[in-house]
């Protein structure tokens, strides 16, 4: 039986393990932390699960991949073709989509915004040096200055002139609601307007691809489902790292781990930062002068003593004076609440600098009442809070062409600057299933 070593236990590592085990490999997954899953992990507190990053996994547009990867998910997961969401702006809720509803502005401002956006249908696609120019060109100066600019400043601490063109996409500031469903459908027939207008209802415009969430546990259980019944072939080593790689000719022969064990490999999968791999292989790393721009993604996990008013999966906020970015309501998309008189939710707050979490907690609770999410007698309890630095403009890992010369090495996920689940999965199947190199 051939041996494969996979470095990293996130979605890239687990999908690779599933495919290679089907191909007959015996697999060891090396994980530096004490938990598996990477961003697709969950935290558990007193039997309550809260997700660390993504909340669902979606099918790809490739049926052959879906049949291979998700064929057993129906038994273990809830599936959804659309995700109920709502949004909050200017003290009003839009009950059926996640986009900022610009009709919530006063009539004078809205009319100006509407006119400027409609004019964008005559404009061609061009490249812009900064986000200010980009948004003024396609969205108009009124929307840019009234909504996009202050929100991006709130999240990043930077002005639009200092940022790359489509920075707003990171904060759900790409599409907006400006008209009734009937008018919106007509306007979206124009390619330029289609890129800046969202459908009024989350049911419209969906891909039809299923989204999955485990019936029990958190999103981390997705990874367990992928490699279920493969424990004899797959072993996961946590709190472990690669200390040494032995290369002979055009292949990796063996590696030595931090626990002292020496493992011979027929195939090596690397899903992490390639600078570490370059160092292990004694490759020269070019100095990158560009400075990363960071923000802090703050997570607040709460339980409520009663069911809350919301029936959606997510709520988005677009008011600059309210700290909340998004709220996730786990019990709505997990369908069944296993805990009597308790309700789970995660509130995300994005800040340009590290903030006092206790002060943010107080502001969040006040905001939840102001937004009419919590009933008067409904009390919430903070289970945990933490923040994660996120480089929203970053220097990409050096793409070292020497890696391609190593025949039994594959780079996936972060190692090739792929971060979306869909993109990662398709790339892995292309290389391990359809490529000649995988044979």
Tokens 């006063």 — which residue?
Answer: 106
Strands 262-264 and 48-51: unpaired
pLDDT of residue 174: 95
By three-state DSSP, how is residue 304 classified? strand
pTM over 0.85: yes
List Cβ neighbours of 107 (8 Å cut-off, separation of 6 or more).
none
pLDDT of residue 50: 94
CA–CA dist 206, 6 (Å, integer) = 34
Query: Would the pLDDT of 396 be above 60?
Result: no
**Using 50, 70 and 90 to split pLDDT, how confident is the model at 170?**
very high
pLDDT of residue 208: 81
Query: Would the pLDDT of 438 be above 90?
Result: no
β partners of residue 393 = 293
* CA-atom Rg of the chain in angstroms: 24
Distances (CA, A) of 331 to 43, 211, 220, 334, 394: 15, 16, 16, 5, 35
In terms of Cα–Cα distance, which of 49, 32, 79 is closest to 209? Answer: 79
Whole-number percent of the chain with pLDDT over 90: 72
The average pLDDT across 261-275 equals 94
């Amino acid at each position: 039986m051939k041996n494969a070593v996979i470095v990293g236990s996130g979605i890239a590592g687990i999908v690779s393990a599933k495919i290679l085990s089907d191909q007959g490999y015996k697999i060891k997954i090396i994980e530096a932390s004490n938990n598996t899953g990477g961003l697709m992990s969950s935290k558990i507190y007193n039997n309550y699960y809260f997700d660390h990053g993504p909340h669902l996994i979606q099918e790809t547009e490739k049926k052959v991949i879906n049949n291979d990867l998700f064929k057993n998910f129906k038994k273990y997961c809830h599936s959804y073709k659309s995700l109920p969401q709502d949004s909050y702006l200017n003290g009003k809720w839009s009950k059926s989509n996640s986009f900022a509803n610009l009709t919530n502005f006063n009539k004078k401002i809205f009319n100006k915004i509407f006119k400027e956006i409609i004019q964008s249908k005559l404009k061609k696609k061009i490249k812009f040096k900064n986000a200010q120019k980009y948004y003024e060109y396609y969205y108009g100066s009124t929307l840019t200055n009234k909504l996009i600019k202050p929100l991006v400043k709130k999240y990043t601490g930077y002005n639009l002139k200092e940022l790359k063109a489509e920075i707003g996409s990171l904060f759900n500031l790409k599409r907006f609601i400006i008209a009734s469903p009937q008018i919106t459908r007509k306007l979206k027939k124009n390619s330029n307007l289609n890129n800046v207008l969202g459908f009024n209802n989350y049911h419209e415009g969906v891909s039809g691809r299923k989204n999955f969430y485990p019936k029990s546990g958190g999103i981390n259980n997705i990874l367990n489902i992928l490699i279920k019944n493969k424990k004899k072939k797959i072993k996961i080593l946590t709190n472990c790292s690669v200390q040494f790689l032995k290369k002979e000719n055009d292949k990796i022969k063996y590696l030595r781990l931090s626990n002292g064990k020496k493992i011979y490999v027929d195939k090596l999968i690397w899903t992490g930062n390639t600078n570490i791999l370059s160092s292990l292989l004694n490759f020269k790393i070019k100095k990158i002068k560009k400075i990363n721009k960071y923000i802090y993604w703050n997570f607040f996990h709460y339980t409520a003593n009663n069911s809350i008013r919301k029936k959606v999966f997510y709520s988005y906020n677009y008011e600059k004076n309210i700290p909340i970015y998004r709220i996730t309501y786990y019990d709505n998309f997990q369908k069944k609440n296993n805990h009597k008189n308790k309700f789970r939710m995660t509130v995300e707050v994005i800040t340009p600098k590290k903030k006092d979490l206790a002060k943010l907690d107080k502001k969040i609770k006040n905001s939840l009442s102001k937004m009419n999410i919590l009933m008067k007698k409904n009390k919430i309890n903070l289970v945990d809070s933490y923040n994660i630095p996120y480089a929203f403009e970053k220097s990409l890992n050096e793409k070292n062409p020497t890696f391609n010369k190593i025949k039994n090495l594959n780079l996936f996920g972060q190692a090739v600057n792929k971060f979306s689940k869909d993109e990662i999965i398709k790339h892995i199947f292309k290389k391990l299933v359809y490529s000649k190199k995988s044979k």
